[in-house]
Amino acid sequence: MSVVLAALTSDPNLLKCELHRLAGQVLVQTEPRANAMGVGAYAQEEVLLRRFSSAEADPSLAQLAPPHESEALLFHASRLPVGLSFEENTQPFRARRWLFAHQGSVSGFDALRAPLMASLPEHLQRLVRGATDSEVLFAVFLRHLRDVGRTDDPRLEARVAGGLLADTAREVIKRSMEEGIPRASTLNLVATNGFVLVACRFGEEPLYYSRLEGGTECEPCGVTASTPETQPSVGAHRRRRTVVVASHLKRPGSWVELPRGTTLAVGPDLQVQLVNGT
């Protein structure tokens, strides 16, 4: 069982504040315990990726926050089988500005790996360094982006990116059927390039999303209901908006479960678009 958490926010300076708000709502560790965790974020034009083992300590949401401003974050935790390289197989995976995570597993992957790899151009084949099905899925998604010439396009529409992510899942489902693999895969996929956040749910495992609106209080920043309105931080906290995707919740609250076969697409305007269809 793996855990995924992603966020896209309107104010990069307040990402750590939004993670603090989520502390009582989401889980970043489950049983059986994850032993490989990774978190990716953005620092202007840089994409920073940090990997760590749960043996070091169970991370808090505050510890996942980057030490710099970032408009997006993607976290993943899973249990790697013995023998798999920690560095090469820990999600999220990164290519250029893209961060990608997969919650679930590809049934019959041993039979599907060769045809999926053969569908990739040589440079994307070289990108796959580990042994996981998830990294191959990422390469297939990158192929879909490349095929429409949008891999590095900062103006890529969220709905288009979401459609390509869903196409990735559908391609794997189609190949599974062609190979006669009876058991369905779980293909909960999440990706961001710092400008858009997209996620799709194809499988039994749930995936949720929530939209956080601005507020007048923030413990990390010391903003309270009595903080004078003249303080710039008050207005910034009231204006902030964030969309969050999570696989594991402590309590449902205002979270919405993404229906099976549905894709979520969020752009810089933080409007949530849902596209149905398997």
Q: What is the pLDDT of residues 184-240, one digit of tens each?
A: 899 999 999 999 999 999 989 999 999 999 887 888 888 887 787 778 787 888 889
Confidence of residue 33 (pLDDT cuts 50, 70, 90): confident
CA dist., res. 26 & res. 247, Å (int): 8
Q: What is the pLDDT of residues 48-70, one digit of tens each?
A: 999 988 655 667 888 898 888 99
Helices (H), the chain: 15-21, 61-64, 86-89, 109-118, 122-127, 133-147, 158-178, 232-239
State the Rg of the chain over Cα: 18
User: In the chain, count of helices (H) and strands (E)?
Assistant: 8, 13
Task: Specify the pTM.
Answer: 0.95
What is the crossing angle of helices 109-118 and 158-178, to 10°? 120
